Amino acid sequence: MKKILIATTNRAKLEELIIGVNPLKNHGIKIYTLNDVGLKEKPEETGQTFCENAKIKAQFYAKKTNLSTIADDGGLIIPYLNNEPGVKSRRWLGYEATDKELIEYTLERLKNVPKEKRIAYLWVCLCFFDPISKKIFFEEENIKGYIAEKPSGRATFGYPFRALFIVEKFNKYYDELTEKEHQQINHRLIALKRLIKKIKI
């Protein structure tokens, strides 16, 4: 039976990816998490792009476990702030920063900035790497929106920027989307569906 490791330590992200890879189980593929393989080490994310970091993580965990691995990297891009926080989204203020601190810092950086300059993108890149065949696949997707002047009040733990992100398609806070709306624009799952098609080849 083929085995695939979902390599993320983010609980919310893991839940999404586990749902997304469910179709692979119908093809005789068993899904593992980092907890399943008892791996707590993390690679140093030195990439300059989301895809470079996704590749670093996929190859790191694949080589540690000898399992085909799916890893991702993503975050918030704000053109007005020279595309910050970009690849540093989670560590913009250091790894110890709380969701609340990241939200407050973002608002401070955009204080008094008009709406037309608050355009932002939630971006993700997924990478699949097979340590045996050396096959490597990538998929990217993004959601366009803008940064609100205050948080939604319904923040999702582990995803601080969603509490500030107004999704252009629905003109609603990301955290206030209905489940149906969320499924329509979930960039991680959209990219994952395309990645799965490549994995089956």
Check: CB of residue 141 under 8 Å from CB of residue 187: yes
In the chain, the largest separation of any two C-alpha atoms, in whole Å, equals 56
Nearest to 23, CA basis, from 15, 31, 13: 31
pLDDT digits (tens, 9 = 90+) for 31-75: 999 999 999 899 999 999 999 999 999 999 999 999 999 999 999
Angle subtended at Cα 190 by Cα 2 and Cα 40, rounded to the nearest 5 degrees: 50
Q: Which of the pair, 83 or 11, is modelled with greater confidence? A: 83
pLDDT of 130 higher than 70: yes
Residue 175 is a catalytic residue: no
Of 36, 73, 99, 175, catalytic? 73
pLDDT of 136 higher than 80: yes
pTM: 0.89
pLDDT digits (tens, 9 = 90+) for 89-104: 878 988 788 999 999 9
- Rg from Cα positions in the chain: 17
